[in-house]
């Protein structure tokens, strides 16, 4: 038995396995034969810098961040990936030797999931929403060669900002459309993405202001909402004959990318999806 020295033993006063991402990643550790842990720690915004310093001091191999930490964490890191720098947001930190590098895996997870049904290169894409998820998806779609991105958003400021970022930083063909009334999806659209929070549990019956009869069967319709996976949009688009992607695919794939960056091992996505399906019922 090894001797214990210089150690701090963490004691948690609440269950730490309630976060779906934790259940998903820990199932992949078990499946890959890695005796690693992925724990959920609540950090109040004023303590973020101290928490990152603690992660360095305690030798974390990496961590994920949720709102409201995705932007604020940047000043505490040593460098950023190209995508994270473009998006101005980090959801995944990877320790490389003694340095903490900020990455954004949300958009990459989406694109990987989209590639299972179509190649984004050369596609006409409409994105509903202009928040963090929309930003991550739009940047990665441009990097993957999408031909045109239309950002549709309720708040003009956020929508114009995102379309401007795509044009200026990525030289993309991008425009903004103000979202008033039921949005009619233009003919010729290849991919429609719901990147708003409409439909997220517990507001599962909330309706996206969308003219569903403008969805045609040559379109791919993707929803970012992971909980519940069968959103109203997923059901409506399936009924219209579209190819449909639910939010679990994006969540699993961003997890796969983070797992690979932290461990150097390729996890089994099917195991991770099954773990999430069990959590979300």
Which residues here bind ligand NDP, judged by CB under 6 A? 67, 106, 109, 129-134, 153-155, 158, 196-198, 200, 224-226, 247, 250-251, 254
Smaller CB separation from ligand NDP, 6 or 89: 89
Minimum distance, C-beta of residue 157 to ligand NDP, in the bound complex (Å): 8
Q: Can you tell me the distance from the alpha carbon of 257 to that of 186, in angstroms, rounded to the nearest whole number? A: 33
> For residue 93, how many C-alpha atoms fall within 13 Å in the half-sphere facing its CB?
29
Smaller CB separation from ligand NDP, 100 or 198: 198
Residue 5: active-site member:
no
Q: How far apart are the first and last CA of the chain?
A: 42
Minimum distance, C-beta of residue 113 to ligand NDP, in the bound complex (Å): 9
Minimum distance, C-beta of residue 19 to ligand NDP, in the bound complex (Å): 13
99-103 and 148-153 as β-strands: parallel, antiparallel, unpaired? unpaired
220-223 and 243-245 as β-strands: parallel, antiparallel, unpaired? parallel
- Which residue of this chain has its Cβ atom nearest to ligand NDP in the complex? 131
H helix runs in the chain, sequence order: 20-32, 48-57, 69-72, 82-87, 106-115, 132-143, 156-170, 232-239, 247-263, 269-279
Minimum distance, C-beta of residue 167 to ligand NDP, in the bound complex (Å): 18
Q: Can you tell me the distance from the alpha carbon of 152 to that of 186, in angstroms, rounded to the nearest whole number? A: 12
> For residue 152, how many C-alpha atoms fall within 13 Å in the half-sphere facing its CB?
20
- Say if CB 210 and CB 233 are below 8 A apart: yes
Smaller CB separation from ligand NDP, 109 or 269: 109
Smaller CB separation from ligand NDP, 124 or 194: 194
Smaller CB separation from ligand NDP, 56 or 274: 274
- Say if CB 55 and CB 28 are below 8 A apart: no
Minimum distance, C-beta of residue 33 to ligand NDP, in the bound complex (Å): 26
Q: Which of 70, 108, 123, 157 is catalytic?
A: 70
Minimum distance, C-beta of residue 132 to ligand NDP, in the bound complex (Å): 3
Q: Which helix (H) or strand (E) holds 192?
A: strand 191-194
Tokens describing residue 99:
């340095």
Smaller CB separation from ligand NDP, 155 or 168: 155
- Using alpha carbons, select from 115, 112, 161 the residue that is nearest to residue 134: 161
Q: Which positions are catalytic?
A: 70
């Amino acid at each position: 038995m090894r001797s214990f020295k210089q150690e701090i033993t963490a004691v948690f006063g609440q269950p730490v396995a309630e976060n779906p991402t934790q259940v998903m990643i820990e199932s992949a550790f078990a499946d890959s034969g890695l005796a690693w842990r992925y724990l959920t720690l609540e950090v109040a915004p004023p303590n973020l810098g101290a928490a990152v310093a603690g992660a360095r001091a305690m030798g974390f191999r990496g961590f994920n961040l949720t709102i409201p930490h995705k932007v604020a964490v940047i000043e505490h890191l040593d460098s950023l990936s190209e995508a994270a720098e473009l998006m101005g947001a980090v959801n995944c930190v990877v320790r490389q030797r003694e340095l903490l590098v900020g990455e954004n895996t949300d958009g990459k997870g989406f694109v990987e999931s989209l590639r299972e049904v179509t190649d984004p290169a050369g596609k006409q894409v409409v994105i509903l929403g202009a928040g963090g998820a929309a930003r991550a998806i739009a940047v990665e779609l441009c990097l993957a060669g999408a031909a045109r991105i239309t950002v549709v958003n309720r708040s003009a400021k956020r929508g114009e900002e995102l379309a401007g970022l795509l044009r200026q930083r990525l030289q993309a063909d991008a425009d903004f459309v103000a979202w008033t009334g039921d949005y009619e999806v233009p003919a010729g659209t290849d991919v429609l993405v719901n990147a708003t929070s409409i439909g997220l549990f517990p507001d599962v019956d909330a309706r996206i202001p969308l003219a569903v009869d403008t969805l045609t069967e040559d379109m791919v319709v993707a929803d970012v909402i992971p909980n519940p996976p069968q959103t109203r949009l997923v059901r409506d688009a399936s009924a219209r004959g579209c190819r449909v992607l639910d939010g679990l695919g994006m969540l699993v794939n961003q997890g796969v990318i983070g797992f690979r960056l932290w461990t150097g091992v390729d996890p089994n996505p099917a195991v991770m999806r099954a773990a999430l399906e069990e959590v979300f019922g």
